[in-house]
Structure 1
Amino acid sequence: MALRVGFIGLGLMGSSMAANVRRAGFPLVVYNRTRSKADTFRKEGVPVASSPREVAQSSDVVIIMVTDAPDVEQVLSGKDGVLEGAAKGSVVIDMSTNSPDHAKRFHYLCSERGVEFLDAPVTGGDKGAREGTLTIMVGGAEEVFQRVRPVLESMGKTIVRAGEVGAGQMLKLLNQVVVGVNMMAMIEAIALARKAGIDLEVLFRVLSTGAANSFTVQYYMPKVMKGDMEPGFRAAHLRKDLKYAIDVATKLDVPLPGTAVVLQLYSALNAMGLGEKGTQALVKVYQRLSERQNHSST
């Protein structure tokens, strides 16, 4: 019998991930704090729960895909939370991005109720979520991982068990370090190209076929060239992730100067009121800096 799946968090990525779970044939129930985001599922006959507790009561596996650690904790152990309704032996999978320490705390909260826990953050953006090709990084017990693997495979193409609880979050933060620094490098190349009079189409042709090629170049550079700042992944979320990475690095006494610079740039973007735009909106910070430089030199 197929595992019954509950999905909490129907945002930019969660809605597509939940839809893929349903397409794979798993009985599904969903919940979202803003109820209107569940309308598509309701219209398609998917049960929409009135609380996380209600989701857990009818699920063998509960997936949480929300913004940050405080949101996960509220969903888990707040009033009418998952742990009020979860049966012993059921599994909670946190697919949000936070930190190894938070994952260990959520594991502790679940274990007190006899509930299994995996941290399983994802990468691949809205495109990967829609197409079911996400990379999923899992921390937790091997037996639990294998039990829910078919559910994870409905959402992702590359499924990696990184180690015990917390290892999935750590691997995701490492991924975000590369994503952030890579974005900064691409945006700096674009900023310099514009000032030097290099056609961005020509630049894209070179970057996308040579040693500088990356997902960032392939997916985000065309958006920048078109002036499309809408999110595949929100800038505010990358800022949050980079802050977690810096926190872990500080704790482990590992210098990350490049990541620190990128964090400050995304903090500037957030201060400009553009945190809800895509990560490629970092180009706006460079445009602002360039404008000020031009003004000061006249």
Structure 2
Amino acid sequence: MEQKKIGFIGTGVMGTGIIQHLLALPNEIHIFNRTKKKADSLIENGAFWQDSPAHIAQTCQIIFTMVGYPKDVEELYLGKDGLLQHAQEETIFIDLTTSTPSLAVKLNQSAEELGLFILDAPVSGGDVGAKNGTLSIMAGGSEKSFSKVLPLFKTFGENIVYHGSAGSGQNTKMSNQIVIASTMIGVCESLTYAKKAGLSLDLVLKSISTGAAGSWSLSNLAPRMIDDDFAPGFYVKHFIKDLSIALEEAERMELKLPGLQLAYSLYNELSNSGYDDNGTQALIAYYG
């Protein structure tokens, strides 16, 4: 694709991994994060630091955002010093944050009025996927804009799917998180059972991870559970946010999802026990 200046706002665990792949491109990569120190390694590797989101918007034609919560997304785009009011015409924004479908629709409408474009494109695959460039990317919004940025998606993603109009990416991510929610309970209970039975957890994992029980969580997070490694690939507090969104959307659609509700309650108990800043695999601590 034509060389453009690319912006990225949010250099957290996953954002940093994604930016590392973008830095391999001939394009200039401009970054901003609320805590500059967290971006030091990226600046050392060639990223250009900008002092505010507004400066990113004034400098770049394609801008990725990956922040914590829907309220952060709304403030970033529509706030007093928001991205939309400072952007160049025809700028394409790609929000990688897991947020609400309704906010994605609202942002899309606001952007279109200004001659701008926004894709809601949440990702899945955690820190491992970001580091290895193997993320799943679920996109909604303008199909033309999706086609334009597809080469960029391919630098850090493998399973890249366009799902339709604004909000479709976020609804797909909710489907993804619902699967993960119940799967994480299953992984934890499986390991707890095996431990109580006196089995070698490593050998159990070797047997079951490639059979019918196999899953990404089992292959990538169960080993961390066995090692009591709760370092965050994806924070408990952010997963609770995702599950909350999914529950709100399910209620709006008059759906009863008891597995999702159970996972939400367990993760809230985990949060109340001080595990907010740990990875989602810390759920194993609930089982003792």
- What's the TM-score, normalizing by structure 2? 0.96
Residue aligning to 1:3: 4
1:76 Cα deviation from its structure 2 partner: 1.1
Q: What code does the residue aligned with 2:84 have?
A: L
CA contact (8 A) 2:74 2:103 kept: no
- Structure 2 counterparts to residues 228-243 of structure 1, below 5 A: 228-243=229-244
Residue aligning to 2:59: 58
CA contact (8 A) 1:31 1:55 kept: yes
Listed as ranges, the gaps of 5+ residues in structure 2 are none
Residue aligning to 1:29: 30
- Is residue 97 of structure 2 the alignment partner of residue 80 of structure 1? no
For residues 248 and 121 of structure 1, the distance between their equivalents in structure 2, rounded to whole angstroms, comes to: 16
Residues 131-180 of structure 1 deviation map (CA, whole Å, 9 limit, x = unaligned):
11111000011111111111111121111001111000000110011111
CA contact (8 A) 1:41 1:48 kept: no
For residues 202 and 72 of structure 2, the distance between their equivalents in structure 1, rounded to whole angstroms, comes to: 41
CA contact (8 A) 2:23 2:46 kept: no
For residues 108 and 194 of structure 1, the distance between their equivalents in structure 2, rounded to whole angstroms, comes to: 52
Residues 279-298 of structure 1 deviation map (CA, whole Å, 9 limit, x = unaligned):
110011111xxxxxxxxxxx
1:112 Cα deviation from its structure 2 partner: 2.8
Q: What code does the residue aligned with 1:166 have?
A: G
Residue aligning to 2:14: 13
For residues 208 and 155 of structure 1, the distance between their equivalents in structure 2, rounded to whole angstroms, comes to: 25
Residues 208-236 of structure 1 deviation map (CA, whole Å, 9 limit, x = unaligned):
12210111111011111111111111111
- State the secondary structure of the residue aligned to 2:186: helix
Farther-moved stretch of structure 1 (271-280 vs 22-31): 22-31
For residues 162 and 217 of structure 2, the distance between their equivalents in structure 1, rounded to whole angstroms, comes to: 24
Residue aligning to 2:96: 95
CA contact (8 A) 1:69 1:102 kept: yes
- Structure 2 counterparts to residues 217-236 of structure 1, below 5 A: 217-236=218-237
- State the secondary structure of the residue aligned to 1:158: strand
For residues 44 and 76 of structure 1, the distance between their equivalents in structure 2, rounded to whole angstroms, comes to: 27
- Structure 2 counterparts to residues 106-145 of structure 1, below 5 A: 106-145=107-146
For residues 10 and 131 of structure 1, the distance between their equivalents in structure 2, rounded to whole angstroms, comes to: 16
- State the secondary structure of the residue aligned to 1:33: coil
Residues 69-117 of structure 1 deviation map (CA, whole Å, 9 limit, x = unaligned):
1111121122332123201111111100012111111212222322111
- State the secondary structure of the residue aligned to 2:48: coil
- State the secondary structure of the residue aligned to 1:242: helix
Q: What code does the residue aligned with 1:235 have?
A: V
For residues 143 and 196 of structure 2, the distance between their equivalents in structure 1, rounded to whole angstroms, comes to: 53
For residues 42 and 199 of structure 1, the distance between their equivalents in structure 2, rounded to whole angstroms, comes to: 44
For residues 134 and 206 of structure 2, the distance between their equivalents in structure 1, rounded to whole angstroms, comes to: 25
1:199 Cα deviation from its structure 2 partner: 2.1
CA contact (8 A) 2:135 2:158 kept: yes
For residues 148 and 96 of structure 2, the distance between their equivalents in structure 1, rounded to whole angstroms, comes to: 16
Residue aligning to 2:213: 212
Q: Which has the larger radius of gyration?
A: 1
Residue aligning to 1:285: 286
Residues 261-291 of structure 1 deviation map (CA, whole Å, 9 limit, x = unaligned):
000000111111101111110011111xxxx
Alignment RMSD, CA only?
Answer: 1.2
Listed as ranges, the gaps of 5+ residues in structure 1 are 288-298
Farther-moved stretch of structure 1 (74-83 vs 5-14): 74-83
- What's the TM-score, normalizing by structure 1? 0.93
